[in-house]
Amino acid sequence: MTRFLHGMIRAIAEAFPFRGPVHEIGSYQVEGQEKLIDLRSMFAGQEYLGVDFRAGPGVDLVANVEKLPFPDGSVGTVLALSTFEHVQHFWKGFDEVYRVLRSDGILVVSCPFYFHVHGYPSDYWRFTPYALDMMLERYPHRILGWHGPDRRPINVWAVAWREDATPPTEAQFQKYQTLLQEYAQERLALGRRIAYSIGRVLCGRRPFATYLDRNRWKTEWKRPAA
């Protein structure tokens, strides 16, 4: 979990209303990231369940997203942050999330794109904004986002509302963008900023775009045609 992703989730949680129970898929809290990765306080007052493939900090239930042990239509909100790149059959995981969500439920999902191989049990996949949008086509309202260089986004994310969920309003969407600008900033240390700026002058922008554009983001609202 990076500071940018933490700020992005905070912006989403404050801009849009969510219903419980909230189930976080991939809730294991990596040592040293507890302050960034613990999202429970952002959904205060909601029943919250942390689910992960392995036991450990932040995990209330050990389960595989490819076969979730929950009844159909029993969950109000699903969070899956930097998780689906570790799911072998990720399409099964997306199907399971859709199954357990209520018809008025909401999914919040993020995936890395330009990031090193990492994680447990392994790291299998990367998703472009277009791939994530395709996986969420059955959700009538979805807000997509990505940050970094246009051709090498660092992370891709989405908020998706099922068919009976109250869709976001224009005011909520504008609030989300304002909060994203305020919260989702991952500042570089002064020494690195100087080094990358010198490198840009000497070598051009492209090799350093991932670092220089990390706080540059785009977001789109996909909705049914009028």
Single pTM value for the model: 0.90
- Report which of 68, 66, 60 is spatially closest to residue 40, judged by C-alpha positions: 60
Q: Is the N-terminal amide bond of 21 cis, ω within 30° of 0?
A: yes
All structural domains of the chain with their residue ranges: 3-186
What counts of helices (H) and strands (E) characterise the chain? 7, 8
Give, to the nearest 10 degrees, the angle between helix 170-183 and helix 3-15. Answer: 150
CATH number of 3-186: 3.40.50.150
- pLDDT in 10s for each residue of the chain, 226 residues: 788 899 999 999 999 999 999 999 999 988 777 777 889 999 989 999 999 999 999 999 999 999 999 999 999 999 999 999 999 999 999 999 999 999 999 999 999 998 888 876 789 999 999 999 999 999 999 999 999 888 889 999 999 999 999 999 999 999 999 999 999 887 767 777 777 678 777 777 677 677 777 788 999 999 987 6
